[in-house]
Amino acid sequence: MTDRFKLYLDLIRWNRPAGWLLLLWPTLSALWVAADGFPGWHMVAVFTLGTILMRSAGCCVNDVADREFDKHVKRTAQRPVTSGRLGVKEALGLGGVLALLAFMLVLSTNRVTVAWSFAALAVTLVYPYAKRWVAMPQAVLGVAFSFGIPMAFAAVQSEVPPLAWGLLLGNLFWVLAYDTEYAMVDRDDDLKIGMKTSAITLGRWDVAAIMGFYVAFLTIWALLLNAPDRGVWLWLGLTGAALQALWHVWLIKDRSREGCFKAFRLNHWVGLSVFAGLVLSYT
């Protein structure tokens, strides 16, 4: 049972929290904006735990969907489902339990949030298969990874205003930036197996596009959050995020696997910088 439990933890990437942190910071930022300040511990707990659970469930679905492709990719060949150490039904069963636990958390909010949770689940299930048909599946992932934003507004305000969708659009550009860095790590393997990624679609324009994605993300959020009137803290947060983005572009400029993976892995600090600046701007 101990070995089985370790396989489950490996399946949901428990030892790599960067994945759920990338979802958490924009979601918590949306909570603060929707509540015009601290949203209360109940909301923080629901969305933090829900983010971890849904990201873990998404890993289960993704690994099942990609198990035949992952065998041919150096980085993913030893994943539990791909290597045969966990069965497909077992992985999907774990994912279903995790998604159900997340849904139980959503039930403690309101009907609007519950309704939107079904849309969030649908996007989560669609993404693994988008990599077979969509030239830039990272855009689909961007919607999935940003859906905590409209749900946060729904939970606080019982509606999803245009501001929420604007923030989702801005965050989608950030997802495009860091997941293209991630795709650059596997580009050689993905070309061999016929997988579609933004790194392949963008080709030699990949680094320039990533820089543009970062700029779009920070610009949209600065404008929508009315940064000029929010004081120094938000500006410091956005500036810190921008400096990190420049560093990431430096890391990926040679397109080495190590540099691209490091840039991706450290991206959650970009989100934390924006979140910290936003929270302090309300004090």
DSSP summary character for residue 120: H
- Report whether 123 contacts 147 (CB < 8 A): yes
Q: Is the pLDDT of residue 39 over 80?
A: yes
Give the per-residue pLDDT at 1. 59
Q: DSSP 3-state helix, strand, coil percentages of the chain (rounded to 5)?
A: 80, 0, 20
The pLDDT of residue 231 is: 85
Tell me the CA distances in angstroms from 210 to 8, 23, 162, 216, 251, one per residue in order.
33, 19, 26, 10, 12
Tokens 């939970």 belong to 155
Distances (CA, A) of 154 to 36, 150, 175, 262: 14, 6, 22, 35
Binned at pLDDT 50, 70 and 90, residue 63 comes out as confident
Mean pLDDT (whole number) for 224-230: 87
Per-residue pLDDT reduced to its tens digit, 108-165: 999 999 999 999 989 888 887 887 788 888 898 899 999 999 999 999 999 999 999 9
Where b means 16+ CB within 10 Å and e means fewer, 82-111 reads beebbeeebbbebbeebbebbbebbeebee
Mean pLDDT of all residues in 102-111: 96
What's the CATH code of the domain at 70?
Answer: 1.10.357.140
Asked whether the predicted pLDDT for residue 45 surpasses 80, the reply is yes
**In this structure, what DSSP letter does residue 160 have?**
-
Asked whether the beta carbons of 189 and 145 are under 8 A apart, the reply is no
Q: What is the mean pLDDT of the segment spanning 75-101?
A: 88
Q: What is the pTM of this model?
A: 0.93
- Is the pLDDT at 32 greater than 70? The verdict is yes
The pLDDT, as a whole number, for residue 133 is 80
* Per-residue pLDDT, 38: 96
Lowest-pLDDT range of 181-190, 236-245, 268-277: 181-190
Average pLDDT over residues 4-15: 88
What pLDDT sits at residue 218? 97
pLDDT digits (tens, 9 = 90+) for 208-221: 999 999 999 999 99
What is the pLDDT averaged over residues 254-263?
94
The pLDDT of 230-244, averaged and rounded, is 94
Provide the residue range defining the domain that includes 174.
Answer: 2-281
Domain count, the chain: 1
